[in-house]
């Protein structure tokens, strides 16, 4: 059996409550008994039972990180893995640990319903508002990559980043710029489309329907989209992809079709994840600051945990353009 404060109390010859106070540092205790207790606890290798402590203090020292199943798998296609691990690293500095869970068929994980966490971070879009609101009544909630009024939200500047990418292509002479995405149903992708649209408009161009293609949610979405695009009578001179996955697929399809990237068609992606430097030519891509998003989410939830009345805010992280070779302007 594990050693408890009662064991320590018996050995030192004090009451369990005294042990509790000595170890937690709260309450009035003489320095000498405090030290005696600490020493014995140390020797016995005492580890507090967090369940008991949690029961008494109504806290769990855990924060839930929930990700929608649509954003799985946590691999090359999704950047949530990095955010998850960043959150874990940050909150663990404050003594919290992470309960990781996915949202299946839009029902909250048991660990949340059963209040086994002190706060929740939701990762990604596609999470029903009706699911989140009630949670927020009882627990601090932080949203990452998603925005809801009255809730603390961490988002990247999708519109601005897309604007930047489109503008970059325009400034290098491209006038026929395609937009390729898996689906425009996804709010992030729609925002990226919006930035694309705004940039074109600002420069006096219009969005051409035939240059906007969606590949759908299937895993070969990239090739489906590119097939659609390559069927057109006139190819664009540049492609702005809504994420790196689609950009990599574009490069692949173009190369296969005997076209050169960036000489025949320039390509710009979005995310600037590890994939960007794994393909050839290396992707010019709009950087989504995943680590910063994770860190910000962690610090927000910690702040909310400390003072739940903290007013909610929307934090927009900027998305700079990382220029590599796929856009063809290297050295210009």
Partner DNA sequence: CCTCCTTGCGCAACCGTTTGTCCACATTAT
Partner DNA sequence: ATAATGTGGACAAACGGTTGCGCAAGGAGG
The footprint of DNA (CB under 7 A) covers 1-2, 4-6, 13-18, 20-21, 23-24, 26-34, 46-49, 52-53, 55-58
CA 56 vs CA 19, 38, 51, 165: distances in Å: 16, 22, 9, 54
- Contact residue for a copy of itself among 17, 24, 30, 92 (CB under 8 A): 92
Q: How far is CA 257 from CA 121, 127, 150, 261, 297, in A?
A: 43, 39, 49, 11, 43
**Short-list 146, 152, 108, CA closest to 124:** 146
Please enumerate in sequence order all residues whose Cβ is within 8 A of that of 286, keeping only pairs 6 or more positions apart, or say none: 161, 162, 164, 165, 268, 269, 270, 271, 272, 319, 320, 321, 322
Q: How many CA atoms lie within 13 A of 300 on its CB side?
A: 24
**Dmax over Cα atoms in the chain, in whole Å?**
89
Among 170, 240, 245, 270, binds a copy of itself (CB under 8 A): 245
> Who contacts 219 (Cβ-Cβ below 8 Å, separation ≥6)?
none
Judged by beta carbon, residue 74 or residue 329, the one nearer a copy of itself is 74
Mark 249-268 with x for binding to a copy of itself (rule: CB under 8 A) and - for no binding.
x-xx--xx------------
Q: Which stretch binds a copy of itself (CB under 8 A): 77-85, 181-189, 190-198, 230-238?
A: 77-85
Task: Report what 17 binds from a copy of itself, DNA, none; CB cut-off 5-8 Å by kind.
Answer: DNA
- Tell the residue number behind the tokens 């706060």, with chain if given: 119
Smaller CB separation from DNA, 18 or 86? 18
Q: Among residues 114 and 130, whose Cβ is nearest to a copy of itself? A: 114
H helix or E strand, kind and range, residue 156: strand 152-156
Strands 266-271 and 62-68: unpaired
Question: Rule CB under 8 A: is residue 109 a binding residue for a copy of itself?
Answer: yes
Among 119, 140, 215, 273, binds a copy of itself (CB under 8 A): 273
Residue 175 interacts with, from DNA, a copy of itself, none (CB under 5-8 Å by kind)? none
φ, ψ at 104 (rounded to 5°) = -100, 140
Contact by Cβ (8 Å): 274, 109: no
Out of 99, 147, 230, 235, the residue judged to bind a copy of itself by CB under 8 A: 99
The conformational region for residue 13 under phi > 0 = left, psi -120 to 50 = alpha, else beta, is left
14 binds, options DNA, a copy of itself, none, Cβ within 5 to 8 A by partner type: DNA
Question: Is 81 or 289 the residue whose CB approaches a copy of itself more closely?
Answer: 81
The secondary structure of residue 276, as a DSSP letter, is: G
- Would you count residue 215 as binding a copy of itself (CB under 8 A)? no
Is the Cβ of residue 51 or residue 206 nearer to a copy of itself in the bound state? 51
Residue of the chain from 19, 40, 41, 62 that contacts a copy of itself (CB under 8 A): 62
| Interaction partner, residue 279 (DNA, a copy of itself, none; CB < 5-8 Å by kind) | a copy of itself
- By a kind-dependent CB cut-off of 5 to 8 A, residue 97 interacts, out of a copy of itself, DNA, none, with a copy of itself
DSSP string, 113-134: HTT--SEEEEESS---HHHHHH
Residue number, 113 or 175, with CB nearest to a copy of itself: 113
Which residues form the interface with a copy of itself (CB under 8 A)? 2, 47-52, 54-55, 60, 62, 65, 72-79, 81-82, 84-85, 88-89, 92, 95, 97-102, 104, 109-111, 113-116, 245, 248-249, 251-252, 255-256, 273-275, 278-280
């Amino acid at each position: 059996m594990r050693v408890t404060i009662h064991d320590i109390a018996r050995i030192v010859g004090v009451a369990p409550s005294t042990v509790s106070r000595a170890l937690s540092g709260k309450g009035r205790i003489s320095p000498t008994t405090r030290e005696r207790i600490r020493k014995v606890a140390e020797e016995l290798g005492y580890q507090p039972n967090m369940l008991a402590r949690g029961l008494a203090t109504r806290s769990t020292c855990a924060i839930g990180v929930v990700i929608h199943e649509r954003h799985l798998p946590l691999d090359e296609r999704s950047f949530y893995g990095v955010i998850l691990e960043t959150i874990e690293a940050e909150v663990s500095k404050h003594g919290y640990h992470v309960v990781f869970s996915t949202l299946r068929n839009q029902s909250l994980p048991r660990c949340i319903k059963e209040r086994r966490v002190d706060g929740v971070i939701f990762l990604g879009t596609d999470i029903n508002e009706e699911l989140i609101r009630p949670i927020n009544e009882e627990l601090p909630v932080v949203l990452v990559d998603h925005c809801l009024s009255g809730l603390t939200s961490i988002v990247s500047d999708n519109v601005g980043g897309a604007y930047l990418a489109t503008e970059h292509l325009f400034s290098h002479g491209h006038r026929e710029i395609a937009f390729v995405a898996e689906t425009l149903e996804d709010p992030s992708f729609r925002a990226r489309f919006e930035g694309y649209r705004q940039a074109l408009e600002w420069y006096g161009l219009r969005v051409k329907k035939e240059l906007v293609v969606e590949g759908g949610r299937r895993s070969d979405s990239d090739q489906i989209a590119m097939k659609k695009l390559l069927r057109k009578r006139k190819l664009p001179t540049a492609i702005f992809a809504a994420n790196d996955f689609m950009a990599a697929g574009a490069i692949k399809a173009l190369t296969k079709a005997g076209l050169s990237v960036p000489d025949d068609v320039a390509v710009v992606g979005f995310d600037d994840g590890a994939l960007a430097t794994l393909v050839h030519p290396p992707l010019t891509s709009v950087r989504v600051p995943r680590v910063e998003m994770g860190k910000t989410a962690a610090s927000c939830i910690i702040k909310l945990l400390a003072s739940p009345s903290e007013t909610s805010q929307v934090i927009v992280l900027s998305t700079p353009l990382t220029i590599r070779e796929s856009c063809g302007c290297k050295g210009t």
